[in-house]
Structure 1
Amino acid sequence: MSGSAKSIALHGGLIALLLALNFVLPAYHHGVLARVMVLACYAIGYNILFGYTGLLSLGHAMFFAAGMYGAGLPMHFLGFGPAAAMGAGLVSAALLALVVGLLALRTVGVAFMIVTLMFAQAGYLAILLAGKWTRGDEGIVLQQAQRSLWGLDLSGEQARYLAALALFALCLALSLWLIRQPAGRVLIAIRENEERARLLGYDTFRHKLLAVVVSGTISGAAGAGYGILFGYVGASFASVQYSIYPLLWVLLGGAGTLLGPFLGTLFMFYLIDIASGLTSAYMLLAGLALVLLTLFAPQGMAGELRRRIWGWLP
């Protein structure tokens, strides 16, 4: 079996496993896994920019929040259904990513990181200043009656899980498709040596802009999905903390791997969940575990699997 066929089989098997878990997991873990799958989409979006293109962003929460508010505000004020709201969230995130990309990509290295952080902070402050509509840190609760898609109540346990799984499967498939395209190979070449890629004749600015837009749109899809499925839209999701989370998830799972974002998100969620049940200083235990993982698995979980066992992992 070729590496491509193995990769498709592995990722298809993961989706099948997650579907099977829908029928056997207890209620608590059922809800946690639904949340993990949606946030893993956020990490997948971040991984396209950081893991595959080599651009470190500290402002990705603005795209997550753009998708969340782009979907949540029309649902709350204009009566949009989930499908139309998701479309609005995607458009909002894509447009913001395009504008930010055109401006931020004029810088490189640390300057790019700082500029994205500044844009994200500006977005966070804008949400707080527009508190009349966004309700700031208090946020907006989307009513159960608003979250019905084609007769399915997305606030229900089963429908929410399956919708989260569908979103995760779509984002995973899109990421797999992109990195196997010539444009995806150019992104990897830019990560490894941008100057050499430019000398070979590739328009590196255009490809990096593509990475920012795709990354921001997928992150926005995660934000829109989170707001719709869990019924809450709040300014805390636009804070610096939510820009750091996907970086941690990707580093833990393995930057530049397809399964890394999901593994990192799942590991971090359950690490904090288990540690918080043992001690009030749970972040100390979580931090210790993260340091150990960084020391002994510097390429992340999926990265180490690729280095030691499955060299064909994308």
Structure 2
Amino acid sequence: MVIKRIDKKQVKIGMFVEGIEGPWQDDPAVGRRFTVKNAKQLSAIVNGEISGVFINTALGTNAPDTGVDGAVPKTIRTASKEDKSRVAQKISAQADEAKSLIEGVFDGRDIAIDAFAPLADDIGRAMDENPGLYIGISRLRSRDTATFVHSLSVAALLTHFARSLEMDEAVVQQLCIAGILHDVGKLSIPREVLHKQGPLTAEERLYVEQHPELGYKILQKQSDMPELVLDICRYHHERIDGRGYPQGLSGAQISPEVRMSTICDVFDALTSARSYKKGWSSQQALSWMMDREGQFDRTLLRRFILSLDTDMTKGLL
């Protein structure tokens, strides 16, 4: 099954609808999942108060690879210099905003969760418009912005992944915010350790492995921080087999949302270029992740791969 999110204006007769984003009353005659068979059904979708449609391309007609404005989405390979520059500028501005918010939380300012909503919405729009180019450009990051652009990338991947799973949009926004904040504890780690180009010593690794718990304690002080955001910050380095940190949780002790964040976090870390390493290709990263027995939820990892295949793979492979 290949699920693809499209704008309602892209829906055509012959497409198989897996889900609808926004207010929608199911037709008892066709059910919640259905093939668009006539103009009446098509009109109800196009003219309804909905924001998006999830189609199953294995069961019905596929949609052309177009963005929400009808333009063909560009990949990092096919985009013009102007497109790349525009997206790079957007990411730079978002990184500055993320830096301001994250450092504000780290410094102890009580920043309302609503303050993150505009950035989360902006990331969501960028992933709607051109996910491959956005993620492709975000892979190229400087030493100074690495932590904050990584947070943006994890937030973007989580947003895309959650939408492919047809999760409620309010949960999608919380996941995006969790991605932005998941590494806030790293601000407690000395820069010379955090950005060390060679292997870490055993003592340095123990130091770095404190960052989820440190981040959790920082976020816990915020008055309205959602439990979902707290859990992802604290547990995104846990493993299904219990060999993760900081608490060595395993199996059902780790929520699906935390498992999703772990996949997105590792995928971005593996595929991103740093001053001291070249990023892996998506194929290399996903192959390595599939071979890591016990580290990831394999069902969710397969769903993550499918979410990339729907409209991001061309920009990533």
Q: Give the TM-score taking structure 2 as reference length.
A: 0.29
Structure with bigger RCO (C-alpha 8 Å, 6+ apart): 1
TM-score in terms of structure 1 length: 0.29
State which structure, 1 or 2, has the greater radius of gyration over its C-alpha atoms: 2
More helix by share: 1
